[in-house]
Amino acid sequence: MTRRTWNNAWLLLLIVIVGLVATRYARSFGLIGVIAPVLGILLVVAILRLVGPRTASSGRPAPTPAPRDVTPREPAVGSSATIASRPTSAPVVVIESAASDETLEAKLATLDRLRSGGRLTDAEYEAKRAQLIADF
């Protein structure tokens, strides 16, 4: 809980206690027995406003903290770290023609070379081949 929440809880408790005291003294002192506790509550609220935090009165939200770098550091060469290196994933191959003068045969030959080199799976090869033929 924040400090402001605790202050509000204590203020509410104080108001309840003063209300009980006011009802007790209202029988004995009449109207002054009710007015005096109410003025006491107003005085406490005014003091809390003077002493309390001023962040809520600005109307602007607090600035967000700068993001922290939580990336684990790679162990230095020659260190005795037991962290295994991460496996690298196969690179994604995107074949797009830089110039439109490349023929369909050249594109298919490039596609065959990439599949035989292990850079494309059979499913990727078939999908790209079908796309090239459809675009032709």
Dump pLDDT digits (tens) for 79-130: 555 556 666 666 666 666 555 557 888 889 999 999 998 888 899 999 999 9
Q: Is pLDDT above 60 for 55? A: no
56 DSSP 8-state letter: G
Lowest mean pLDDT segment, chosen from 6-10, 45-49, 56-60, 123-127: 56-60
- Measuring CA to CA, which residue among 59, 86, 64 is closest to residue 74? 86
Residues 128, 120 contacting (CB under 8 angstroms): yes
Tally Cβ neighbours within 10 Å of residue 128. Answer: 20
Q: How far apart are CA 94 and CA 54, in angstroms?
A: 57
Which of residues 30 and 76 earns the better pLDDT score?
30
- Model pTM score: 0.28
Q: What is the mean pLDDT of the chain?
A: 75
**Closest of 108, 80, 82 to residue 95, by C-alpha:** 108
Q: What is the pLDDT of residue 127?
A: 92
- Which secondary structure element, helix H or strand E, spans residue 1, and what is its range? none
Strands, DSSP E only, in 54-118? none
Cα 74 to Cα 9: distance, rounded to the nearest angstrom: 49
The residue that leads in pLDDT, 45 or 76, is: 45
